[in-house]
Amino acid sequence: MITLRQVKSGDRVALVAPASSFPAEELTAGVAELARLGLEAVYDESIFDRDRFVAGAPAVRAQAIQKAWADPSISALIAMRGGYGSAQLLPLLDPELLRRSRKALIGYSDITAILSFYQQHGLAAIHGPMIDRRLSQGPTAYDESSFRRVVMSAEPAGELRPAALEVLSPGVASGTLLGGTITQLVSSLGTPWAFAPQPGGVLFLEDVGERPYRIHRMLTQLVQAGVFSGARAIVFGEFPGCDEPGGDPVIRDVLRDFTAGFAGPVLFGFPSGHTAGATWTLPFGVRAEISGSGSPAVIITEGAVS
């Protein structure tokens, strides 16, 4: 696993739009919040491009990312938002340039496609807050502590113990943490960039606004594709908006039933990615221990940046 470049106070970070377009005021507010964190935000004017439901042509979006990778004055990239379009860029991205630059592209949701690209090519990846409706709204919309511990410190992030984290199945296990938004992981199957974790990993899975049967269908596909084979633990996100209208069934019960035969610990409600409150930052591609007894926790035992 190749660690990413550590982001330090005073560094420049590039804002990029790999997926859908965004309101201009979100960029302005996000730049101000990054300045509060001691970071200087920069961006290419192509970030404002529009092409139906994506933020400009795929070649233009990919070029902006690779320009930031190649710029030695930039230490990391942050996605403006998710939506749709990141998978279009995968054939256009140069993995050797990425490996040389070691720069994170921080995001979640549709950005899962690019996070998986990082992991496929041996790098850590950062599942963390984007600009639109997260960094733009300040610490009420993202967890500043986990962001700093994962992105701005070379030390392992240590215990991440959100108050609402629940145990669906008890136990303790450790392995390499990886995953992302289920919809994007499923859509990668059958492509050259298919999500195919090595045995012995810890899966983090989350989504938003999908009815329980749709989540069940996608998880079934992942199981049948071998994604769960050899996994030692599962950590589910909050799944906001995923309870059946009317409240029966609720997604928590569906996930508990789905994983009933799983041998390792299963947690529910880790607030990373799509969340009702502040979203936490998780490093993928690094070692983590899952504690599913007593007060549950995800314990990051390896640094993602250096």
Each residue's pLDDT, cut to its tens digit, for the chain (306 residues) gives: 999 999 999 999 999 999 999 999 999 999 999 999 999 999 999 999 999 999 999 999 999 999 999 999 999 999 999 999 999 999 999 999 999 999 999 999 999 999 999 999 999 999 999 999 999 999 999 999 999 999 999 999 999 999 999 999 999 999 999 999 999 999 999 999 999 999 999 999 999 999 999 999 999 999 999 999 999 999 999 999 999 999 999 999 999 999 999 999 999 999 999 999 999 999 999 999 999 988 999 999 999 999
26 vs 194: CA distance, rounded Å: 32
Which position among 20, 86, 101, 109 bears the catalytic label?
109
271 vs 200: CA distance, rounded Å: 23
Instruction: From residue 215, give the alpha-carbon distance in Å to each of 150, 155, 193, 206, 263.
Output: 29, 35, 21, 10, 21
Query: Taking the CA of residue 262 as centre, how many other CA atoms within 13 Å lie in the half-sphere pointing to its CB?
Result: 27
Which position among 206, 238, 289, 291 bears the catalytic label?
206
For the question of whether the overall pTM of this predicted structure is more than 0.95, the answer is: yes
Contact 88, 114 (CB under 8 A): no
Which position among 26, 187, 274, 289 bears the catalytic label?
274
Residue 109: both structure tokens together: 């949701």
Is residue 206 part of the annotated active site? The answer reads yes
Is residue 121 part of the annotated active site? The answer reads no
Locus of tokens 């990919």:
62
Is residue 109 part of the annotated active site? The answer reads yes
Return the DSSP state at 89.
Answer: G
In order of their start, the domains of the chain are 12-151 (3.40.50.10740), 158-300 (3.50.30.60)
148 vs 248: CA distance, rounded Å: 39
